[in-house]
């Protein structure tokens, strides 16, 4: 089945026939429906008219006074242009008397309960994380960074004295505008001495949280639905949303992880209800085919170059046969090399320096045993698998263990929403 949730543009095919029209001894509308289903189209609908007339100008009506056995029937199909073109060649000769039209349409939303296990009707207040650790806008940046490190939080809401959200501070904000040397995931793997040196260096900075935080902030009301919140998060490309009350006061935070946990716990179909062929969308339909990858023998300079070129903070490591055998994160590289090289590595990853030389290769630096799955794994099962293993990446592999694509939390979030807002 085509994934209409990933197609904003499609085509609408309409076929106008009479109720008495036949094809090979059977009702034409039933034959057309069966043809559309057999060809794997997303769906079709038959509308039975209450009145109308066609080429013969004979009025057909369901009115008891002028009852006709041949009421007008309209069959409507919406799918991608290539699928419509293919099926049109099949159904064209079946419609011996009638009308066929075709027009471009824009899909605003397409969903099926089998494809979307998101409990969209739940309230944000039922799902959000609370209470929330916050920062004040006047807090010095070195104290804010210390708070983030102590709480292992990559982002923290900034609230004023009335608890109203005025911004959000991320480790990327501090990296770009406050002068810290690495993101949180790297920093927490350094020893205490190195961390204290960096915090001490920040103590001389005159910057405050308000100077470096991101603002304005996209928020969500606690009483809004999870479906609305998820759609807003996907549209904005955000990992989390501060949750506020009607006065704008912070009451919680909704993260991608909070949402995915709801998907993992949701029933996927009613007991005994068969899932239609093609209805359970798989990770092959949603995976990214751009694979940041290095060979197990690649040296440190090659690894860092791949990081900077792909703008990724993780790389798949493959062996001589192309099989996925491990993952390398930027934090792996920083924490597993000699301390003397760490500063130059950090600068190279930020593209402000040259990568150091060394004997380390990808095999030495990787974390072995990447989480993998076959391409036919349903999306909902992929969510469960990643949450159970506490993994952010899932490598899609073929029967030989060779990478075909990647799935991360953002891809999964987009897959379970399939919600577009018109421009």
Residue with more model confidence, 81 or 343: 81
Predicted TM-score (pTM) above 0.75 = no
- Give residue for tokens 């949701």: 266
Which of the four pLDDT bands, split at 50, 70 and 90, describes residue 42? Answer: confident
Candidate ranges 55-64, 77-86, 393-402; pick with highest mean pLDDT? 393-402
- pLDDT, residue 331, reads 83
Q: What mean pLDDT comes out for the span 337-345?
A: 69
Q: Is the dihedral of CA 257, 332, 393, 109 positive or negative?
A: positive
Nearest to 74 by CA among 31, 118, 16, 33: 16
Q: 377-419: per-residue pLDDT in tens?
A: 988 899 999 999 999 999 999 999 999 999 999 999 888 875 3
- Give residue for tokens 């690495």: 182
pLDDT at 247 over 50: yes
Same domain (yes/no): 131, 225: yes
Task: Give the Cα separation of 18 and 54 in Å (integer).
Answer: 9
116 falls within a domain: no
Same domain (yes/no): 320, 351: yes
Q: Which of helix, strand or coil describes residue 102? A: strand
Look at the chain and report how many structural domains it folds into: 3
Task: Give the Cα separation of 12 and 10 in Å (integer).
Answer: 7
- pLDDT, residue 272, reads 43
- pLDDT, residue 401, reads 96
Same domain (yes/no): 128, 257: yes
Residue with more model confidence, 57 or 365: 365
210 falls within a domain: yes
Farthest CA pair distance, the chain: 95
Beta-bridge partner residues of 169: 156
Q: Which of 265, 297, 329 is the last residue of a domain?
A: 265
Q: 181-214: per-residue pLDDT in tens?
A: 778 887 888 778 878 888 888 899 999 999 999 9
pLDDT at 5 over 90: no
CATH number, domain of 329, equals 3.10.580.10
Q: What mean pLDDT comes out for the span 225-240?
A: 91
117 falls within a domain: no
Q: Which of helix, strand or coil describes residue 197? A: helix
Residue 247: count other Cβ atoms within 10 Å of its Cβ.
Answer: 9
The answer to whether residues 349 and 307 touch, using CB atoms and an 8 Å cutoff, is yes
Q: What mean pLDDT comes out for the span 369-375?
A: 96
Q: What mean pLDDT comes out for the span 94-108?
A: 90
Domain carrying residue 349? 283-415
What is the token pair recorded at 67? 């009852």
Task: Give the Cα separation of 220 and 36 in Å (integer).
Answer: 41
Task: Give the Cα separation of 132 and 126 in Å (integer).
Answer: 15
Q: Is the dihedral of CA 269, 274, 278, 283 positive or negative?
A: positive
Same domain (yes/no): 257, 128: yes
pLDDT at 355 over 80: no
Same domain (yes/no): 258, 295: no
Same domain (yes/no): 130, 261: yes
Least trusted range by pLDDT, from 60-74, 92-106, 323-337: 60-74
Number of H helices, E strands in the chain: 17, 20
Mean pLDDT of the chain: 85
Q: 131-154: per-residue pLDDT in tens?
A: 999 999 999 999 999 999 999 999
Q: What is the percent of the chain where pLDDT is above 90?
A: 54
Which of the four pLDDT bands, split at 50, 70 and 90, describes residue 157? Answer: very high
270 falls within a domain: no
- pLDDT, residue 60, reads 54
423 falls within a domain: no
- pLDDT, residue 200, reads 86
């Amino acid at each position: 089945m085509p994934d209409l949730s990933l197609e904003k543009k499609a085509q609408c095919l309409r076929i106008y026939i009479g109720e008495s029209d036949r094809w090979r001894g059977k009702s034409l509308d039933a034959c057309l429906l069966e043809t559309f289903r057999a060809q794997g189209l997303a769906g079709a609908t038959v509308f039975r008219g209450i009145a109308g007339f066609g080429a013969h100008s004979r009025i057909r009506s369901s009115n008891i006074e002028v009852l006709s056995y041949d009421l007008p029937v309209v069959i409507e199909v919406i799918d991608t242009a290539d699928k419509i073109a293919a099926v049109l060649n099949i159904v064209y000769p079946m419609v011996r008397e009638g009308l066929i039209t075709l027009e471009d349409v824009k899909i605003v939303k397409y969903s099926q309960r089998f494809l979307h296990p998101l409990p969209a009707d739940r309230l944000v207040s039922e799902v959000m994380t609370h209470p929330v650790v916050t920062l004040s806008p006047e807090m010095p940046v070195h104290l804010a960074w210390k708070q983030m490190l102590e709480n292992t939080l990559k982002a923290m809401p900034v609230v004023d004295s009335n608890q109203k959200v005025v911004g959000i501070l991320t480790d990327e904000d501090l990296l770009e505008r406050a002068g810290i040397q690495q993101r949180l995931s790297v920093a927490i793997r350094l020893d205490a001495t190195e961390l204290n040196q960096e915090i001490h260096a920040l103590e001389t900075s005159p910057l405050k949280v308000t100077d470096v935080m991101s603002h304005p902030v996209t928020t969500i009301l606690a009483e809004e639905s999870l479906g609305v919140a998820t759609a807003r998060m996907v549209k904005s490309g955000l990992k989390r949303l501060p949750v506020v009350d009607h006065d704008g006061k912070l009451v919680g935070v909704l993260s991608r992880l909070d949402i995915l946990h709801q998907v993992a716990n949701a029933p996927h179909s009613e007991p005994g209800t068969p899932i239609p062929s093609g209805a359970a969308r798989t990770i092959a339909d949603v995976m990214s085919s751009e694979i940041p990858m290095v060979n197990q023998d690649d040296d440190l300079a090659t690894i860092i170059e791949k990081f900077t070129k792909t703008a990724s903070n993780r790389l798949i490591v493959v062996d001589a046969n192309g099989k996925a055998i491990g993952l390398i994160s930027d934090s792996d590289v920083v924490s597993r090399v000699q301390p003397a090289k760490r500063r130059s590595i950090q600068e190279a990853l930020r593209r402000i320096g040259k990568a150091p030389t060394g004997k380390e290769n990808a095999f030495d630096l990787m974390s072995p045993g990447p989480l993998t799955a076959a391409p036919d794994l349903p999306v909902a099962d992929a969510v469960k698998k990643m949450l159970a293993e506490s993994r952010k990446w899932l490598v899609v592999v073929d029967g030989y263990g060779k990478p075909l694509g990647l799935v991360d939390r953002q891809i999964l979030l987009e897959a379970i929403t399939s919600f577009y807002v018109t421009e």
